[in-house]
Amino acid sequence: MTDTDITTTAGTDWAAWQQSWDRQQEWYMPDREERFRIMLDMVEALVGPAPRVLDLACGTGSITARLFARFPGATSTGVDLDPALLAIAEGTFADDDRVSFVTADLKDPDWRAKLPYDSYDAVLTRSAR
């Protein structure tokens, strides 16, 4: 193995991975952004502009990204089981202490034990499959 064979995440273009994921998901669901917007409208109406959110089946953290863009005072926990998507999420939000990501299978009856908080203001998800 040479130095150039070493795999590293340093310098990875996480924004490009996010854009690639968004493009792929929008092919399946063209009104995805509108759904995100309505979700956050509901959150703001019900619990205000600084919610603690549980982003279930978070994938790359798409909901959390929209949440922070709109509500900078929000906090989030993302839960997913896919290591590749979680790597993109963790890379994207590496320096952001408003969010943490949890690897868990929602089919496991004990998945909630892995969460950092006992309660959330809102539980958001978009297509958990």
If one asks whether residue 62 binds ligand SAM (CB under 6 A), the answer comes out as yes
If one asks whether residue 66 binds ligand SAM (CB under 6 A), the answer comes out as no
Mark residues 31-50: x for contact with ligand SAM by CB under 6 A, - for none. Answer: --------------------
Find all residues with CB under 8 Å of 7, minimum gap 6, and list them: none
- Tell me the window of 7-15, 41-49, 78-86, 91-99 that interacts with ligand SAM (CB under 6 A): 78-86
Determine which helix (DSSP H) or strand (DSSP E) holds 78, and give its type and residue range.
Answer: strand 75-80
- Beta strands at 75-80 and 52-56: parallel, antiparallel or unpaired: parallel
Rg of the Cα atoms in the chain: 15
Given the complex with ligand SAM, which of 23 and 129 has the nearer CB atom?
129
Contact assessment for residue 78 and residue 98, using Cβ atoms and an 8 Å cutoff: no
Ranges within 85-104 binding ligand SAM (CB under 6 A): 85
Given the complex with ligand SAM, which of 21 and 44 has the nearer CB atom?
21
Q: How far is the CB of 115 from ligand SAM (least distance, A)?
A: 13
Q: How far is the CB of 79 from ligand SAM (least distance, A)?
A: 6
Closest CA to 22 of 13, 33, 12, 11: 33
